[in-house]
Structure 1
Amino acid sequence: MLIHPMPNPIAVQIGPLAVHWYGLMYLLAFAQFIALGRLRIRQPHIAAAGWKKEDLDDMLFYGVLGVVIGGRLGEILFYNPAYYFANPADMIAVWKGGMSFHGGFLGVMLAMWLWGRKRGHQLMDIMDFIAPMVPLGYAAGRLGNFINAELPGRPADPSLPWAMIWPNVDNIPRHPSPIYQMLVDGILLFILLWFFSRKPRPRMAVAGMFSLLYGCARFFTEYFRTPDYEVHFGPVTISAGQMLSVPMIVLGIVLLLIAYRNPQAPKPAAQVR
């Protein structure tokens, strides 16, 4: 039986300065955003839409604010409001983990809208551009969750080769759900979306595909994760993560329908007023 290694959440400590693994995963996420962004700008249809590598650094600054502020607010409001309002000092303790992807998604949309107003890009063109660069960053965050021994899975059949005991929870074999979400919601989604976005697509198609695929992937992997809480709709019970994924599925379908019923090419920034 596998046992979670429970590594020290602090990767490096020099005197009072402590660098946490969770923070390093976010640095990795932001670094891959820049690296993938440079590759994406080399694609002819992306360059033709007016994207330049100079856009990436400024966009990343806004994106970091959107991810951190939105992700933390989502964790506070969507998942653990009672705890955080009882312990307000922990609201800013992001190094302990606890970031909501759905909150971060909303935060990034707002940040990109603000950045687009300054640089003359429309929101949906920005979302189409950045969508393929998001899943690997998400995967890095889930690896950080695993290192922090967060988000334990539901009980698993002991015969499952990778069933794992989480000593900080109990002695019951469980699914390593952060690894599932890293692989499915992150790496698999990246592969599918990267290949989809390599060819010219109508406006909103890439963003719509991301929203649809992530919502479906997250809805599936939530079956293996211990729910933060569950929501009952008559005889149907779903987890909080599944409930928050349903709007993303609906949004993705709507965006794809609009994109392919009335195809439009992305608008270069110079054409936006």
Structure 2
Amino acid sequence: MHLLKLDWNPVTGIDIIGNFKIHFYSLMWVAAFVIGWYIMKRIFTKEKISLDYLDPLFIYTVLATMLGARLGHVLFYQSELIQEDFFSIFLPFSFKNGVEFTGFQGLASHGAAIGIIIGMYLYRKKYNYKSILWILDRIVLAVASGAVFIRIGNFINSEIIGKTSGDFPLGVRFIQDYYNKYEVTQITGIKNVQKAYDAIANNAELLSAVPYRHPAQLYESFCYIFVFLILLYFYAKTKKSEQTGFLFGLFLILLWSIRFFIEFFKEPQGDEYINWFGLNTGQWLSIPFILIGLYFMFVYKPKTAVK
């Protein structure tokens, strides 16, 4: 029995013209980057770092995040795009069934993490005012806050859905995941996709086929709020920000441990290329990040004083 249940059939964006649509998921990414920029501005101001370095950091972070996340998704979960819809890997359009603006759907957080680390290395090579670990120790606050919004965006998009919730007291029926937009227009005979979904939502027989699932995106988003607050506490209220690599390591342990355990509630994301000992691709990819985090928290000692 579900004490809290929800039929989820949201408007996912704002129609502009033709197939062009501003997706709320994309706006969540914008919010993540803008708030991240503001957090880093506060940090730079607090630590008396020239704000001239801030905008280049923002540009490097945005490009590294998006490129890493997109390539990570393709490599880890949807490699068939390389042959079936190659240009959609790099462009916010799908060319498989005509030209359709989709935004960048299919972004992997593990790829984003790798991209950010590489991006910060390249940024540090050009702007040599602090060590790369100094930058990583601080940018993780912005990343943690951004992760909250990204998972909300996933929930709006009815993607990265959870497994069926069974007797768990919380359950969500993701109507737009169960019926794809091509199928829903055929079933209802309504050409407007959103109106077709609304018709499904008001049809008891068709709606009954949609199972209740864990809102895994919201579980994850909620947990990331605490990741941000914990990092903020250690940065602002303790001297751990002076321990090189500590905040970066703490971030890796907290975020990827959450990701590891939330995966037990999720449906597989695309093709699971790794599925060993009952653990899926996302869990195996999380383990190295956790181990790296432990290293930076408890083992790493800088060879020279932090500049």
TM-score interval for Structure 1 and Structure 2 normalised by the shorter chain: 0.7 to 0.9
- 1:151-162 alignment to 2 at 5 Å? 151-158=160-167, 160=169, 162=170
- Name the structure 2 match of 1:270: none
Runs (4+) of structure 1 exceeding 4 A deviation are 14-17, 261-265
- Name the structure 1 match of 2:73: 75
- Name the structure 1 match of 2:62: 64
- 1:10-21 alignment to 2 at 5 Å? 10-13=13-16, 18-21=21-24
- 1:90-105 alignment to 2 at 5 Å? 90-94=88-92, 95-105=103-113
How many Å separate the matches in 1 of 2:58 and 2:216? 29
Q: Is the Cα–Cα contact under 8 Å of residues 216 and 245 in structure 1 kept in the other structure?
A: yes
Which sits farther off after the overlay, 149-158 or 246-255? 149-158
How many Å separate the matches in 1 of 2:304 and 2:234? 17
- Name the structure 2 match of 1:217: 258
What is the number of residues matched between the two proteins?
A: 256
Q: Is the Cα–Cα contact under 8 Å of residues 220 and 262 in structure 2 kept in the other structure?
A: yes
Q: Is the Cα–Cα contact under 8 Å of residues 97 and 145 in structure 1 kept in the other structure?
A: no
Q: Is the Cα–Cα contact under 8 Å of residues 208 and 254 in structure 1 kept in the other structure?
A: yes
Identical pairs, percent: 27
- Report the alpha carbon displacement of residue 38 of structure 1 after superposing the two structures with TM: 2.3
- Name the structure 2 match of 1:109: 117
- Name the structure 2 match of 1:4: 8
Root-mean-square deviation (Å):
2.1
Q: Deviations over 1:235-257 (max 9, x none)?
A: x2112111110001000001112
- Name the structure 2 match of 1:86: 84
Q: Which amino acid aligns with 1:258?
A: V
Q: Which amino acid aligns with 2:26?
A: G
Structure 1 position 226 matched with structure 2 position 267: yes
- Report the alpha carbon displacement of residue 223 of structure 1 after superposing the two structures with TM: 1.2
Gaps of 5+ in 2: 93-102, 179-208
- Name the structure 2 match of 1:172: 211
How many Å separate the matches in 1 of 2:71 and 2:261? 24
Give 3-state SS (helix, strand or coil) of 1:81's partner: coil
Q: Which has the higher Rg, Structure 1 or Structure 2? A: 2
Q: Which amino acid aligns with 2:110?
A: H
Give 3-state SS (helix, strand or coil) of 1:144's partner: helix
- Name the structure 2 match of 1:266: 306
- Name the structure 1 match of 2:227: 189
- Name the structure 1 match of 2:95: none
